[in-house]
Amino acid sequence: MSGRNTWIRSLHDVGLAAWFGGSLMGAVGLNGAAKDEGETAEKSARIASAGWTKWTPVNAAAIGAHLFGGGGLLAVNAHRVATQKGVAASTTAKTIVTGGALAATAYARLLGKKIELAASHDPQDREKAGQHPFDIDQARRQLACVQWVVPALTGCLVVLNALHGEQQRPAEQLHGMWERARSVTPLIP
């Protein structure tokens, strides 16, 4: 591994922080406030949709930064993934959880967009919603669940990121590489 990777690590960490924090604040703050302030389910949906629409480009940039930084970190730490015991497993877990968080984020946005179109005052939006019929109550129930899946999965990524940080300590690297060598060479005591 060459020297420092401050920019790549910063993109990875700041992107994840914004993804996690934004999804948690949205579920607790934005959606909670919309529910409290909206006099009807339709008005609550319009309030929440307005906030999420403003957040979506920032969230997309945060996710992009996290993924770019993660790819960069994987590239500069490829030797550790291959040689240090435990790093490949935690990297695999992190990749799977990232995929789940991406899928949950996309699904939440899809559900939110459907609800937004159905609650809109704009006749064109309502027409678009009518072209793809769906059960609005079911979409609301699903969104009420999936809105918590995103911060749960991104929170898991924060924990896995902490594990990766611990695995980078010099003593952990030496121990992990020794254990890896022992596992592939059975004659080493």
pTM score, whole prediction: 0.83
Within a domain: residue 85?
yes
Domain count, the chain: 1
Q: At what angle do helices 136-167 and 6-25 cross, to 10 degrees?
A: 150
* Residue 163 domain boundaries: 6-181
**Of 183, 158, 22, 17, nearest in space to 88 by CA:** 183
Nearest to 62 by CA among 8, 98, 5, 20: 20
In this predicted structure, which of 15-29, 71-85, 175-189 has the lowest mean pLDDT? 175-189
Euclidean distance between CA atoms 120 and 138, whole angstroms: 18
Mean pLDDT of 1-28: 91
pLDDT the model gives residue 171? 64
Mind listing the pLDDT tens digit for each residue in 63-73? 999 999 999 99
More confident residue, 185 or 163: 163
| Residues 6+ away with beta carbon under 8 Å from 147 | 23, 26, 27, 31, 108
Rounded Cα gap, residues 112 and 149, in angstroms:
14
* 94: Cβ contacts below 8 Å, ≥ 6 apart: 70, 157, 160, 161, 164
Report whether 153 contacts 100 (CB < 8 A): yes
Residue 96 domain flag: yes
The answer to the question of residue 93 being in a domain is yes
Residue 186 is assigned to a structural domain of this protein:
no
Question: Best-predicted range by mean pLDDT among 11-20, 35-44, 169-178?
Answer: 11-20
Is 187 within the bounds of a domain? no
Residue 149 in this model has a pLDDT that exceeds 80: yes
Share the mean pLDDT of the chain. Answer: 87
| Sequence-distant (≥ 6) Cβ neighbours of residue 19 within 8 angstroms | 59, 62, 63, 66, 101, 105, 150, 154
Asked if residue 1 belongs to a domain, the reply is no
Please indicate, yes or no, if residue 188 is contained in any of the structural domains: no
Burial of 49-77, coded b for 16+ CB within 10 Å and e otherwise, reads bebbeebeeebeebbebbbebbebbbebb
pLDDT above 60: residue 86: yes
